[in-house]
Amino acid sequence: MAELLTDRTAVVTGGASGIGRGIALSLADHGADVVVADVTQTPSTPDTTPTVDAIGERTDARAVYVDCDVREPSDVEAAVGKAAEFGGIDVMVNNAGVAQAVEFLDSTVEDYHAMIDVHLRGTYLGCREAARAMLAGDGGSIINVSSTAADRGFDAPGAAFYAAAKGGIQSMTYALGEMLGPEIRVNAIKPGYTADTGLDAEKGTDEQRRDRAAETALERLGVPDDVGAAAVFLASDLSSYVTSESLLVDGGWVHTGGP
């Protein structure tokens, strides 16, 4: 299983919890050394084992944590630079994100920036710093975590800003694939509702989970490992002819179900 990403180093922002944790663990399962870049080491889920420790327990990969606020250029630069300890960055996963349940008509400019700055600014900085390092080396793969919200609007507090940010990530991904090729491939993953994340634990109810699962073609919710598997594909040579693409990991929800 380790052959796919052996001798490669990945940086995963927001890698302490949820989808980011699933991605970091999946990359390590397939042989990648991982820099976990986040504002905390403690997962916001029932299993509070830090991602770095979990990687050490279940794989032979090396892992290190670095404190990183993706809104800060110096933090992102330091996270990418940390990969030098393992030979330099090969894979960048821009996953860090936040959720904010604010009603649109009651929202403020500060609410807007709280969402846009983490998602879109953070992804921009991650892409920029990773690309600089990759172009100075042997190239690599950049994976941006967007969302089904980039394709479909939905009515919920905070949805307008979230959809705007995720749509921007998708469009930036397409543009960067053209700008940075052929040395660097740039792709996006668009997860649907994903269980076993901090957002799911905070916002989801059993009824909502059942209803959403029933709307998917596969009749179940996604879990972080599902998104992690997609990241392994996009990080590895299996996707060597794939760039400027966005991969839905939603059980078919966007195209076959949902209100």
Confidence of residue 198 (pLDDT cuts 50, 70, 90): low
Q: What is the pLDDT of residues 110-136, one digit of tens each?
A: 999 999 999 999 999 999 999 999 999
**Beta-strand relationship, 91-94 and 184-191:** unpaired
Neighbours of 255 (CB within 10 A): 11
pLDDT, mean over the chain: 93
Across 185-206, average pLDDT: 78
Q: What is the pLDDT of residues 212-228, one digit of tens each?
A: 889 899 999 999 999 99
Q: What is the pLDDT of residues 47-66, one digit of tens each?
A: 899 999 999 999 999 999 99
Q: What is the pLDDT of residue 258?
A: 61
Q: What is the pLDDT of residue 125?
A: 98
Confidence of residue 6 (pLDDT cuts 50, 70, 90): very high
> What amino acid positions are annotated as catalytic residues?
162
Asked whether the predicted pLDDT for residue 15 surpasses 80, the reply is yes
In this prediction the pTM is 0.94
Name which of 141-150, 189-198, 229-238 the model is least confident about.
189-198
Confidence of residue 200 (pLDDT cuts 50, 70, 90): low
Across 72-85, average pLDDT: 98
Which of 38, 9, 2, 6 minimizes the C-alpha distance to 21?
38
Cβ contacts of residue 256 below 8 Å, gap of 6+? 216, 217
Domains in the chain with CATH codes: 2-247 (3.40.50.720)
Q: What are phi and psi of 155, to 5 degrees?
A: -95, 100
Residues listed for the chain: 259
Q: What is the pLDDT of residues 136-187, one digit of tens each?
A: 999 999 999 999 999 988 778 768 999 999 999 999 999 999 999 999 999 9
One-letter amino acid for residue 128 of the chain: R
Confidence of residue 203 (pLDDT cuts 50, 70, 90): low
Q: What is the pLDDT of residue 209?
A: 81
Q: What is the pLDDT of residue 202?
A: 52
Distance CA(238)–CA(160), nearest Å, equals 35
